[in-house]
């Protein structure tokens, strides 16, 4: 099946959303019991962590951890936002930099000014967007980021998005209650689909859409470790307690370039493989054999692939044993945990 399809349905009574591209699962969201990224707390400072520059906080959902703390004292209330999912047994990761993300804009209550995505390069369009943003924002005391999705949107839609999101953000930011509380919950999977999957797509939202569009079969395949490259080979993507191990193998091709072909295919497919499986943290690639002179080519392909991925990923580099390492933000829960 060619084209993009956004499929909205439920799995075991949990709201879920899938993005199918040319018949393959490209992205997936599902509701969980854990605090979702984007949740805003009025937290209470608890105790500092010496040597790490951080502090544990008390929240209604359990302990949270805030990095790079200055000027906070135990018992002090503060606004924080969940940035990702906590590893088992660890505190919820939070930040004091609040972002309220919608389809076309990101509202930044504590960072004034209007900014436009660098991906929008048309100067005439940038001028129109700035004018639209200032008109819609009026004298509201908040900052605004116009996302790259504004490039293909109608100006009235962008203005409506701004006027809808700014009051929501300011109501949370200016909440007067100083007690420990949840001020705003993170977005649900269907809302996340509307916010993040902005390219043109068919939408299927009837009951049973996951089965009709092959999402359930794709999820079963994603729960397996092996990702096939066809004749080029394949890779095993396996989570361990310490890291995510990726083992790249060649296929039936026995030419001298077989290793490079398999590694280049891995570079292109790895972001999707990690995203749909919800895998993050330390990632080590055990690549197929290839000459050292081809490492730069592989790195460029890997960098280009992750540049198109929304989840923050640091390409760390090569180890003495010839492995390649990455560090990826834990923005999703592992698929094997939420579908167990």
Q: What pLDDT score was predicted for residue 175? A: 87
* Length of the chain as a residue count: 340
- How confident is the model over 46-58, as pLDDT tens digits? 988 877 778 999 9
- The answer to whether residues 290 and 250 belong to one domain is yes
159 and 197, same domain (yes or no): no
Burial of 126 (0-12, 13-18, 19+ CB in 10 A): middle
pLDDT digit string, tens, across residues 306-320? 998 989 999 999 999
Tens digit of each residue's pLDDT (9 = 90 or more) over 218-237: 999 999 999 999 888 999 99
In this structure, the answer to whether residues 125 and 137 fall within a common structural domain is yes
Q: Residue 340: pLDDT band by 50, 70, 90 thresholds? A: confident
Looking at the fold, whether 227 and 216 belong to one and the same domain comes out as no
CATH, residue 228: 3.40.630
Tell which wins on pLDDT, 1 or 193.
Answer: 193
Range of the domain at 47: 40-95
pLDDT value at position 251? Answer: 79
CATH no. for residue 175? 3.30.230
pLDDT category at 302 given cuts 50, 70, 90 is very high
Q: Are residues 133 and 110 in the same domain?
A: yes
Residues 261 and 295 in one domain: yes
Task: Give the DSSP H/E element, type plus range, for residue 126.
Answer: helix 123-137
Whether residues 255 and 297 share a domain: the answer is yes
End-of-domain residue from the set 198, 222, 246: 222
Percent of the chain with pLDDT over 90: 83
Query: Given pLDDT bands bounded at 50, 70 and 90, which one contains residue 334?
Result: very high
- Angle (CA) 133-99-73 rounded to 5° is 135
For residues 66-73, average pLDDT: 83
Give the total number of structural domains in the chain.
4
Q: Are residues 13 and 108 in the same domain?
A: no
Q: Is the pLDDT of residue 253 over 80?
A: no
Neighbours of 135 (CB within 10 A): 12
- Flag whether pLDDT at 332 surpasses 70: yes
Average of per-residue pLDDT across 106-115: 92
pLDDT at 183: 95
Looking at residue 52, its pLDDT comes to 72
Integer angstrom CA distances of residue 179 from 174, 183, 185, 201, 208: 14, 11, 17, 43, 43
Residues 334 and 228 in one domain: yes
> Given 222, 243, 273, which residue is the final one in a domain?
222
Look at the alpha carbons of 177, 178, 181, 185 in this order and tell me if their dihedral is positive or negative: positive
For residue 89, what pLDDT is reported?
84
Q: What is the mean pLDDT of the chain?
A: 93
Neighbours of 216 (CB within 10 A): 15
Q: Write down which residue in 140, 162, 187 finishes a domain.
A: 187
Task: Grade residue 133 by pLDDT with cuts at 50, 70 and 90.
Answer: very high
pLDDT exceeds cutoff 70 at 1: no
Say what the pLDDT of residue 149 is. 94
Q: Let me know whether 82 and 14 are in one domain.
A: no
Q: Burial of 293 by CB count in 10 Å (0-12 exposed, 13-18 middle, 19+ buried)?
A: exposed
**CA 233 – CA 227 distance, rounded (Å):** 9
Does 63 share its domain with 146?
no
Check whether residue 330 and residue 289 sit in a common domain.
yes
Give the integer Cα–Cα distance in Å for 144 and 158.
12
């Amino acid at each position: 099946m060619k084209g993009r399809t956004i499929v909205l349905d439920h799995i075991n009574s949990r709201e879920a959303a899938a993005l199918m591209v040319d018949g393959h699962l490209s992205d997936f969201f599902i509701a969980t019991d854990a605090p979702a990224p984007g949740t805003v707390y009025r937290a209470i400072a608890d105790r500092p962590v010496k040597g790490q520059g951080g502090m544990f906080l008390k929240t209604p959902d359990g302990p949270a951890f805030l990095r790079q703390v200055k000027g906070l004292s135990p018992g002090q209330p503060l606004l924080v936002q969940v940035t990702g999912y906590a590893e088992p047994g660890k505190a919820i990761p939070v930040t004091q930099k609040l972002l309220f993300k919608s389809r076309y804009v990101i509202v930044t209550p504590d960072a004034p000014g209007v900014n436009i995505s660098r991906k929008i390069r048309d100067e005439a369009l940038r001028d129109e967007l700035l004018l639209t943003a200032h008109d819609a924002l009026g004298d509201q005391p908040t900052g605004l980021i116009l996302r790259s999705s504004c490039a293909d949107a109608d100006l009235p839609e962008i203005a409506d998005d701004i006027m809808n999101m700014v009051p929501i953000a300011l109501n949370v930011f200016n909440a007067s209650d100083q007690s420990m509380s949840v001020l705003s919950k993170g977005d649900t999977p269907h809302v996340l689909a509307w916010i993040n999957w902005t390219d043109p797509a068919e939408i299927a939202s009837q009951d049973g859409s996951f089965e009709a569009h092959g999402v359930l079969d794709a999820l079963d395949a994603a729960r397996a470790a092996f990702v096939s490259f066809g004749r080029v080979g394949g890779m095993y993507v396996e989570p361990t307690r310490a890291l995510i191990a990726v083992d790249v193998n060649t296929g039936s091709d026995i030419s001298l370039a077989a290793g490079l072909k398999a590694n280049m295919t891995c570079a292109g497919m790895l972001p999707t493989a990690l995203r749909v499986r919800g895998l993050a943290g330390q990632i080590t690639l055990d690549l197929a054999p290839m000459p050292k002179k081809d490492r730069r080519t592989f790195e460029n392909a890997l960098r280009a692939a992750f540049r198109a991925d929304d989840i923050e990923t640091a390409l760390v580099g090569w180890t003495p044993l010839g492995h390649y390492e990455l560090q990826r933000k834990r923005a999703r829960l592992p698929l094997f945990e939420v579908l167990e």
